[in-house]
Structure formats: C-alpha cells, structure tokens
Structure 1
Amino acid sequence: MILKASNVSTKNFFLSASKKNSLSADRKLLLLKIAEAVALEYGKNEVVHLNFICTHNARRSQLGQVWSFYAAHYFNLNIDAFSGGTELTAFHRNTIKTLQKAGFHFQLENFCHQNPSYNISFDGARKTVLGFSKLYSDPINTTPFIAITTCNNADKNCPFIKKAIHRFHLPFVDPKASDATDKRDETYLKTNQQIAAEVYFIFDTVKKLLA
C-alpha cells in the first residue's frame, strides 16, 4: 500500500522553511556546534551517521531522520540518518500526515497493528529510508553515530549513549499535546517546518565547512 504525498514539492517546503525560521543566538550556536562536529567526522571518514533520539520515536525524532534523509540528497552529502527512542511505540499517523503534506511518499513495508514500517521517499529520490519506531540502540542504526536528542525526557533518561561519538541536545516542542484538538494540523506543521529549517541550517553549514 502506498500513502500518497500531497502536490507540495519537498524541495519547496524545505527551502521555504529555511527562510521563514528565526533562530535565537543560543539556538544558532547549538546548530553550529552540531554542524562542526558533523564536518569534523565527515572529514575523517567521508561518511557520518546521525541518530535522532526521543522517548517514543514517534514524532520529533522521526521528523529529524526524514528531513536529514532529504537534506543529504539535497546537499549531496554522504550522511546517513537514523532515529530511535527509549521506548517502542509507533511512527505516529499525524507525523506521517504532516510529512506527506511536505511531499514525502510512504509505502507500507511491513504491516503490524502496533508498529508498521514504511519505505519513505520523495520525488527524485535515489533511495528510500525505512521508518518505524525502534530503540535508539536498534541494530539498524549504524554505529558509531552522532546522537541528537530531541526531547528532554530522552536527554534525561540517557545519561550515557553507547556508540555515540558526539552528543547534542536539540529539543523541540512535542506536537503530541495537539492530537485531540483543532490545532493539530497547525501544530504539526509548525514542528515540521522548524525541524526542516534547522536540519537545513546544519547541512548547509556542513557543506560550507567542507568546501
């Protein structure tokens, strides 16, 4: 089964988000530090693995993985994106919906009522990325990696992340609180745009540092 994307161009969404996003001085400094670490490791091995980590691996960490998957294509960088949680749940349907509205395609890979998996792509993609909820230590997450925690609980509950060569805490507001409200689509869109924009900033900076 294929879950169709909207008519929105992923590229246009990505570029538009990057232009709209406003960064505080502290947030910009944090993103610069992440980019510098990525560029440092890239210079050593010409490949980097990113692992976005939140509690349930259902929303923010999935958005981080998917946008990094796209950014690697857009900036032509050999950077692999993964994600994981401290608990198993599922790739939340509202996260899927907001990514579809940004032009991503979801093809059901393995149906499971509790935790289905999807092959995710976009127009012009040379490969797909597999999306499903998993622990951050799942074997699919290639090591060593740069760990990026996207929620405070994951940062607090993981005092030590094995196989992480660098670790950063990049928290985002959880859109989960809007799930049963009329603000749901707007809230998920806002988080989607912010994560897309900050991933753009990181990858754009890495590209410039490697030039």
Structure 2
Amino acid sequence: MYQKLKAYISELESGFDSIPTSRKEELKKTADYIHSKLEDHKTAKLNFICTHNSRRSHLAQIWTAVAASQYGIGNVETFSGGTEATAFNPRAVAALERAGFRVENPGGDNPEYQVYFHEKAEPLTCFSKTFDDPLNPQKEFAAVMTCSDADENCPFVPGAEFRIPITYRDPKESDGTEQETDIYDERCKQIAAEMFYMMSLVN
C-alpha cells in the first residue's frame, strides 16, 4: 500500500472511538450482513447508493474495498450507483488523491477513473452510473444508502436482500467556497473511518 495512504489509514484506526454510538450500531448491522454471507461461503456484494453517484457513494465504495484488502477479507465486492448518472465529481477525486490514492483520469464527460491504492492490486474503476446498471449486482446484495434523498426517493431497490441507510452530509454544499477543500477532506475522512470500522467488525 502507498506510504501516504498507509499513514492516513493508521490515523483513521486510532480514531474509531470518536465514531458516535448510533453510527456504530448501523455499521455493525452491515458488518453482520457481510459476516453472514461469508459464513455461508458466499460473496458479500455491497452497492452504495446516493442520488447522483458523484461523491459519497463512490467514497464509500472505494474505502470499503480498501478496508477489505487491508484486513484480508476476501469475497467482498463493492459497487456504487445513483438514482441518476452524472459523473464522479473531481473535487471528491482530489480528496482521495490528498488521502494518498493514485488516480488516472482518461477524460470525457463521465470519466472511468482508475483508482490505485496498492502497487500490486488492480485499480478500482469508478464512474457514475445508476444503481441498477448492468455492471452492478442485480440480486442478493446489500443496498447501503449514503444520502437521505436517495433513501427517501428510492424506497425499493430491486434485488436487494438487505438495505440500510448510512447517510452523510453532501460536501457539494461547499462547492465554490473557501471551505471547499476542508469540507471534502472532512467528508472523505469520515466515510473512510466508518467503512474501516465496519470492516474491522467482520472478522
């Protein structure tokens, strides 16, 4: 794993105690779902869903995949989608780069970013799509709702066998302000810490 990212993760793990109890309860429910799938020798598929699949859902997908790798948890696959497709927002991508990821941007209106976290690991391909895109699981998966709008406006996710709201405040509200970088870094770190905490409970 890249050194900068390794240091970032070490800091996250030392701050698990600061995660509110109510959040830990929801994260544990998701960890229990993952654990039950693995106990049955099945693949745990997690689809993180927000409205535009541009910020929070991507961050949750990426950090969960990295946490699974870090803790040696196999048979976990992460996905993300929206109620509509836009593009993976470059501000969220920049926050990942500041955390220590290496990201390749091929360009285009909806770039298929290649997100690297380890010299020997395959990159994660991340781009905006709807939650029911053919590339996402169609049955026997967990729908993790990362924004309240998607949770309220999408009461039924076809094929999901487990659904849970783990929502985050949208960093988009800071776009174009002096606080933009700080807010994106704060949200990236919050999501990272909670996804790492969740995955630490699986084993």
TM tier, shorter chain? over 0.9
1:82 alignment counterpart: 79
Question: In the alignment, does 2:165 pair up with 1:181?
Answer: no
CA-atom RMSD, angstroms?
1.5
More moved, 90-99 vs 25-34: 25-34
Q: 1:198 aligns with which of 194, 199, 203?
A: 194
Distance in 1 (CA, whole Å) between partners of 2:169 and 2:14 is 20
Shift of 1:93: 0.4
1:136 lines up with 2:109 in the alignment: no
1:15 paired to 2:15: no
Partner SS, residue 202 of structure 2? helix
Partner Cα separation in structure 2 for residue 139 and residue 97 of structure 1: 28
Q: 1:32 is matched with which residue: 28, 32, 37?
A: 28
Secondary structure in 1 matching 2:100:
coil
**What is the aligned length?**
199
SS in 2 for 1:206: coil
Separation (CA, whole Å) in 2 of partners of 1:192 and 1:8:
18
Query: Per the alignment, in what secondary structure is the counterpart of residue 161 of structure 2?
Result: strand
Q: Is the 8 A contact 1:8 1:101 kept in 2?
A: no
Partner of 2:93: 96
- Farther-moved stretch of structure 1 (136-145 vs 96-105): 136-145
Q: Which runs of 5+ in 1 are unaligned?
A: 1-6
Query: 2: distance between equivalents of 1:33 and 1:102?
Result: 27
Partner AA of 1:87 in structure 2: E
The Cα shift of 1:28 comes to 1.2
Q: CA separation in 1, counterparts of 2:136 and 2:67?
A: 18
Letter in 1 for 2:85: L
Counterpart CA distance in 1 for 2:42 and 2:200 is: 16
CA 1:182 to 1:8, structure 2 compared with 1: closer, same or farther past 3 Å? Answer: farther
Query: CA 1:107/1:177 → structure 2, altered by over 3 Å: closer, same or farther?
Result: same
Q: Does residue 103 of structure 2 align to residue 106 of structure 1?
A: yes
**Percentage of matched positions with identical amino acids:** 36
Post-superposition offset of 1:142:
2.7
Other structure's SS at 1:139 match = coil
Q: Distance in 1 between matches of 2:11 and 2:42?
A: 29
User: What is the CA–CA distance in structure 1 between the aligned matches of 2:122 and 2:152, rounded to whole Å?
Assistant: 34
TM superposition score normalised by structure 1:
0.89
How far the C-alpha of 1:8 sits from its partner, in A, is 6.0
Equivalence for 1:3: none
Q: Distance in 1 between matches of 2:8 and 2:60?
A: 15
Report the equivalent of 2:113. Answer: 118
Look up the equivalent residue of 1:133 and give its one-letter code: S
2:116 & 2:48 partners in 1: Cα distance? Answer: 18
TM-score, with normalisation over the residues of structure 2? 0.93
Shift of the alpha carbon at 1:123? 2.9
Gaps of 5+ in 2: none
CA distance in structure 2 between the partners assigned to 1:43 and 1:160 by the alignment? 27
